[in-house]
Amino acid sequence: MMKNSVLIVVSLVSGLMVILVFAIGPGIIMQTSYAQNSNDGIMTNDQITLSDDLANNPLAQDILKKIEQTRKWIAELEQRNYEQLEKQKELEEKRRLSLAKLNQDLKEWETLWDYYSPKNSYERFVDTIPDSQVQEVFWDQFEFKEQKVKAGRDALKQVKADGGSLRDARQAYLAAAETKRIELIEANSQFNVRHNLAYYSQQILFDREGQFVDSPVTGEQLRKHYEDYRTNPEYLNANPDDAISWDELGRTSQDTECRQGQIVVHRFHADDYVCVTMQTAEMWIQHGMGEITGDSGNNNGSRDAQSVTPLTRCDDGFKVVYNNQTEKYSCVSEDTANRWIEQEIVEFPDPEEYIMKSIERKETLRDVEEINQQIKEMQDVLYNEKIALKKQYDEKYEDLLSDSKDAEKRAIQEYHENSAAHKEDLSKTIGYLRDQYESDKEETLEDKIKDMKKLERKFKKEMSMFAQDYTDHPYIKIVRNGGNMGYEATPRE
């Protein structure tokens, strides 16, 4: 039995390890300690010593070895943790620097490509246009496009928010962002009117496809909008000191005595009177922009300046002529009349023929109105027949759907009543019934289209027979108007 016993206490607290070894016996004590340096993380230790009594004690020697081994382990662990922390700090710092560099690169990239953004690129293009009003039109077109794109994006986001598929979202985008040709035509028409580049009454002279409706009426309307810059209200408001324009445009009447070398002309587009040179007056008359007025012969002293006719009595030295291009009558000087006659620009009208044609035209217009009423009644019949046919097929669609649902209910009921039935058989039956419903609906749609076309062919045949009655009519003709189903009676030229 050993004389002495050894008590060893090991304590680990927050990186500090203290090992106390007490040898219980007379005068025998050994103590050692070591700890982590809080500044550099390196382990330090005090010298381990044994009393003489324990120097040759095998148990004490074994304890010392274990203490030394434990110390080395702790030192290695502390070193590893320290190195790992240092590497982590270094990695985090590199990440921070990389992120900062990336954000800086992104800012420089955005600054670089901002020059080529759609709006900036478009702005550089618009800046090349000298007319500010035209620039505004182009910006309206850009905003119109942006609204379409925004509508498409909103539709796409809404479909995705509702749980729709990517394909459905794309379809919603295309449907919302789509711009039809007729929309572009209408939008551009409004933009030009908004910025005083066109008149609304001028724009409506074009059809929905942007094509000019060429007829005597539209030609007349279009010529009303030829204008002298001085008649533009914006010009007059911006130039209140232009006394000549204000005086000539605001006070000149058909009775005004112009200064020598000028003559009063009535301008159709502005419905006013101006004093211009004879050369300018002849140019306006030739292009249907105005006329030299004369005495219309009214006994009440008033003069109908806008209705020069073969019956008008022009001033001395002037004659009434008929302009073949503008289809207007006007008073021009005898020299000009003779010169234009030689150039076949005008011709001298026959007053008696004019009177007869006026009577005939009045009767023709009355007949045209009656014929158009008949055409309208025929079109109304076609419209009502189409409505009735549509209602008939709507009822067929409802019957098909009702029959299909009833068949599905019966199939489900039979499935529940038959214990030997399989669920797969029910699914096949319902699938077959639904496919049959879609097939019947498609077949019904084809029948509907055929019947609609049959009605249209019937109407065309009736209209063709109706129009043939006026093929050789000397004063009236029937023409297409507004598509295949539209017809209209008009006077012959």
Q: What is the pLDDT of residues 63-97, one digit of tens each?
A: 777 888 888 888 888 888 877 888 888 888 888 88
Q: How far apart are CA 27 and CA 42, in angstroms?
A: 34
pLDDT higher than threshold 90 for residue 21: no
What residue type is assigned to position 386 of the chain? K
Q: How far apart are CA 250 and CA 233, in angstroms?
A: 12
Residues 477 and 414 in one domain: yes
pLDDT higher than threshold 90 for residue 223: no
pLDDT higher than threshold 70 for residue 207: no
Rounded to two decimals, what is the model's pTM? 0.34
pLDDT higher than threshold 70 for residue 116: yes
User: 450 and 393 in contact (C-beta within 8 Å)?
Assistant: no
Number of separate domains in the chain: 4
**The pLDDT of residue 238:** 56
**The pLDDT of residue 155:** 92
Residues 327 and 363 in one domain: no
Residues 426 and 470 in one domain: yes
pLDDT tier at 450, thresholds 50, 70, 90:
very high
Residue 247 is assigned to a structural domain of this protein = yes
Among residues 188, 216, 244, the one where a domain terminates is 216
User: 386 and 454 in contact (C-beta within 8 Å)?
Assistant: no
**The pLDDT of residue 209:** 63
Q: How far apart are CA 189 and CA 119, in angstroms?
A: 23
What residue type is assigned to position 210 of the chain? G
pLDDT tier at 4, thresholds 50, 70, 90:
very low
**The pLDDT of residue 98:** 81
**The pLDDT of residue 263:** 80
pLDDT higher than threshold 50 for residue 54: yes
Structure tokens at 268: 């159709």
pLDDT (mean) for 355-360: 75
Residues 311 and 237 in one domain: yes
Residues 34 and 64 in one domain: yes
Residues 178 and 95 in one domain: no
Residues 154 and 66 in one domain: no
* Residue count of the chain: 493
Residues 45 and 78 in one domain: yes
Q: How far is CA 204 from the centre of its chain?
A: 22
Residue 255 is assigned to a structural domain of this protein = yes
Residues 21 and 86 in one domain: yes
Q: How far apart are CA 76 and CA 228, in angstroms?
A: 100
- Residue 427's Cβ-side half-sphere holds a number of Cα atoms within 13 Å equal to 3
206 or 397: which leads in pLDDT: 397
| Distance set, CA 216 to CA 205, 222, 308, 355, 398 (Å) | 12, 10, 17, 20, 51
Tens-digit pLDDT profile for residues 368-415: 888 888 888 888 898 899 999 999 999 998 999 999 889 888 888 888
Residues 138 and 77 in one domain: no
pLDDT (mean) for 16-41: 44
Non-local (6+) Cβ contacts of 76 within 8 A are none
pLDDT higher than threshold 80 for residue 163: yes
Residue 221 is assigned to a structural domain of this protein = no
pLDDT (mean) for 350-356: 79
Residue 56 is assigned to a structural domain of this protein = yes
pLDDT higher than threshold 90 for residue 154: yes
Which of 122-131, 174-183, 219-228, 383-392 shows the highest mean pLDDT? 383-392
Using CB atoms within 10 Å of the CB of residue 102, give its burial: 0 to 12 exposed, 13 to 18 middle, 19+ buried. exposed
pLDDT higher than threshold 50 for residue 481: yes
Instruction: Show the CA angle centred on residue 334, arms to residues 328 and 335, nearest 5°.
Output: 110
Residues 195 and 246 in one domain: no
Relative to beta strand 328-333, strand 290-291 is unpaired
Residue 336 is assigned to a structural domain of this protein = yes
Residue 107 is assigned to a structural domain of this protein = no
Among residues 349, 378, 411, the one where a domain terminates is 349
Average pLDDT, the chain: 75
Tens-digit pLDDT profile for residues 234-292: 545 555 555 555 555 555 677 777 767 778 888 777 677 777 777 778 877 877 778 88
pLDDT (mean) for 191-220: 64
423 or 52: which leads in pLDDT: 423
**The pLDDT of residue 117:** 81
**Phi, psi (deg, nearest 5) at residue 489:** -90, 135
Residues 340 and 231 in one domain: yes
pLDDT (mean) for 433-456: 90
**The pLDDT of residue 6:** 44
Among residues 291, 317, 349, the one where a domain terminates is 349
Which of 12-16, 43-47, 448-452 shows the highest mean pLDDT? 448-452
Share of the chain above pLDDT 70, in %: 73
Q: How far is CA 365 from the centre of its chain?
A: 44
Residue 61 is assigned to a structural domain of this protein = yes
Relative to beta strand 328-333, strand 318-323 is antiparallel
User: 246 and 231 in contact (C-beta within 8 Å)?
Assistant: no
Range of the domain at 53: 5-99
pLDDT higher than threshold 80 for residue 60: no
**Phi, psi (deg, nearest 5) at residue 43:** -75, 135
How many other C-beta atoms can be found within 10 angstroms of the C-beta atom of residue 257? 8
Share of the chain above pLDDT 90, in %: 10
Residue 279 is assigned to a structural domain of this protein = yes
